[in-house]
Structure 1
Amino acid sequence: MEEYLLGEKPTLTRVQVAEQAGMNQTVAEELWRLLGFPQQTDEAVAFTEADVQALRETDALMRLGILSPDSQAALVRTWGRSFARLAEWETTLLANVATAGPDPDPEARLTELAAEVLPRVESLQTYVWRRHLAASTSRMFAVQSVGATKVQLAVCFVDIVGYTSQSKSLDEAELVSWLENFESETTGLVVDHGGRIIKTIGDEVLFVADDIEVAAEIALKMVEKGADEDDFFPAVRAGVAYGEVVNRLGDVYGPTVNIASRLTSVARPGSVLVDAGAYEQLSGRTSDADGDERESDPGSSAFRFRRMRRTSVKGYSRLQSWVLRRG
């Protein structure tokens, strides 16, 4: 199985790989570590020609300036984490199929399945990656065309209410099914309404949208699904913020992201909290430090708001928020 997946039987040590690739061994070992693989000894025969070629291509990207010293570690670490999670999930799927039947040799069956399935999976992964590259490139040029240095986005965190207590009452299979349903439903809602999933973190999902009304609608729909006792979707709460966001390696950073996270942590079950930026965009009203408001542009009548008392949270001593409801 290992020989099939790696393309050949391992015949090289890490010293030989670095020498054949013409790369400093310390740099090669650091890249290997960032990918999330265990360190090997100098004598361990654990590598193939594919590892040599990977180092050569990495070196070429560094020479072209694509992988700068600042971005190299972060990008390689992101690759390692993403593919490690994907590999664990795909291996589990194959193993479940291989061991489900009466086959007396499940290891042989697993190898047969891999030979038949993995080339198709690899092709689909490349397709999905290229599609996301195309979408990301379009967004990047759209931003640059108006001369912006940072992107204005609506950012939303959605958190499962009572996750800890609920997870204790479920066995492993039930918990996995419950979380997979949560991820599937949230992804469907976000994508169908024009938002983008950034990441799921166990019992929490982070998504963004170019339009604040889209983010508000998605958050409200999730809360409504969670309140429906006939729906398998769990009860949730959400925090929405609007403002400048830094995009980096597919993730989002900045005060707007932090505020959305803090709002989620203080939101009551079944509620959506929005920050001042989201409130101003949705209501057409601005609020100053004293709480006085004035109307600027007419906001959407699709929503109504209830001003909350200022809250002290990590990083923000007097965070102002509003409960978002349908108009």
Structure 2
Amino acid sequence: MTTPPETAGRPGITAEAIESQLLGGERLFTLEDVSAALNISEEHARRVWSAFGFTMDNTNTKLFTADDVQALQLVHALDANRSMEFEAAMARTLGQTISRLTDWEAHNMAERIRSDAETGTESVDLATMVKAVQRVQTLVWRRHLASALQNALATTDGVDRTLTIGFVDIVGYTSLSRQIDMNELDDLLERFETNAYDVINTRGGRVVKTLGDAVMFEAEDPIAGAEIGIALQRLSKEYDLPPLRVGMALGTVLTRLGDVFGEPVNIASRLTSSARPGTILVDSVLASAVDDDRFFFKSIGPLSVRGYKRLRARTLEVNRKSVDAD
């Protein structure tokens, strides 16, 4: 894709200016140069670069800056004792995560630039904006890394762990997205994600990822998982959201590069799809593990879903008797 020489909506912000501020220098190196510098094959270098999310149409073109080469050297050094597959997987995870973050950052920066241009306001220059975003990003990253590193040292990536896995999604999202304009849709998704993240993070859970109109989460403690489920269900009334539904399952999972895999993930996904609007479905394993009189589990008939002909599930509700007693 060719970048226009003049960025729309803001005369003076050229492709060259953006590259100068963001890429860390001129593109001086080809794929052959990079592979020689890292002492790896061109296929290896191409695979990692592609995993980061970047295209490479011509291997003889000077695509890489000195900073690019240094980044690839660091990734290769960090994973020197790992397979190429692991190195590519790490690059892919990093690329996907940062791509979403930068899309949001770029949108907000562009809106600021356009707004200043339309009102005749003297705009903050690009270098200053980039420096501010980079500073905030580093500070937030360090705090998240400190917390994640403590957790990582207490566990081992890939080793079987017993977790409660859950999904929450917006009922009727596809139909709703066709009926409202883009600004309303943006506001809806923002309220949903912001409040779902808050519920999960403040109750001992962790957001694994977002999947369109759904949020996937995990919790070490089954009781914390139940608390999260109930709190998520309440978001509809508290923040004027469409009906939500939640599905959760407890079991052994594989953790890999921040993601989670295994049968509990599949079961939780199927339960979410089967849940009625405004309800929470959990598997029988989770229901048996939650020994807390604040919660009530109601048995339902076996579910026939993809991969499971007779999936045993229960609805999770607040125990009214316990509430009344309080």
Task: Give TM-score scaled by structure 1 length.
Answer: 0.85
- The one-letter code matched in structure 1 to 2:130 is L
> Among 284, 292, 308, which residue is 2:300 paired with?
308
Contact 2:75 2:87 in 1 (8 A): no
> Among 193, 200, 205, which residue is 1:195 paired with?
205
- The one-letter code matched in structure 2 to 1:25 is E
* Unmatched runs of 5 consecutive residues or more in structure 1: 283-298
* Unmatched runs of 5 consecutive residues or more in structure 2: 1-17, 320-326
Contact 2:27 2:65 in 1 (8 A): yes
Q: Can you list the C-alpha shifts for 1:235-283, whole angstroms capped at 9, x where unaligned? A: 100011112222111111111111111110101111001101111012x
Contact 1:23 1:55 in 2 (8 A): no
Structure 2 match to 1:50? 67
- The one-letter code matched in structure 2 to 1:87 is T
Alignment of 1:268 with 2:286, yes or no, is no
Contact 2:160 2:252 in 1 (8 A): yes
Alignment of 1:185 with 2:202, yes or no, is no
- The one-letter code matched in structure 1 to 2:149 is T
Alignment of 1:278 with 2:286, yes or no, is yes
User: 1:104: how far off?
Assistant: 8.9
Residues 102 and 50 of structure 1, relative CA distance in 2, 3 Å threshold: closer
Contact 1:14 1:40 in 2 (8 A): no
Residues 104 and 131 of structure 1, relative CA distance in 2, 3 Å threshold: closer
Structure 1 match to 2:24? 7
Structure 1 match to 2:131? 119
Residues 42 and 149 of structure 1, relative CA distance in 2, 3 Å threshold: closer
> Among 219, 240, 257, which residue is 1:232 paired with?
240
Q: Separation in 2 of the partners of 1:149 and 1:31?
A: 25
Q: Following superposition of structure 1 onto structure 2, how do residues 1-327 of structure 1 map, counting pairs within 5 Å?
A: 1-63=18-80, 65=81, 67-102=82-117, 109=123, 112-143=124-155, 149-226=159-236, 228=237, 231-282=239-290, 299-327=291-319
Q: Separation in 1 of the partners of 2:33 and 2:151?
A: 43
Q: Separation in 2 of the partners of 1:22 and 1:264?
A: 48
User: 1:85: how far off?
Assistant: 1.1
- Over the residues paired in the alignment, what is the CA RMSD in angstroms? 2.3
Task: Give TM-score scaled by structure 2 length.
Answer: 0.85
Q: Separation in 2 of the partners of 1:34 and 1:140?
A: 23
User: 1:36: how far off?
Assistant: 1.1
User: 1:218: how far off?
Assistant: 1.6
* SS in structure 1 at match of 2:92: helix
Runs of 4+ aligned structure 1 residues displaced above 4 Å come to 103-106
Residues 62 and 207 of structure 1, relative CA distance in 2, 3 Å threshold: closer
Q: Separation in 1 of the partners of 2:40 and 2:20?
A: 25
Contact 2:191 2:239 in 1 (8 A): no
Taking only the aligned residue pairs, the percentage that are identical comes to: 37
Q: Can you list the C-alpha shifts for 1:213-236, whole angstroms capped at 9, x where unaligned? A: 22112211221221x2x7322310
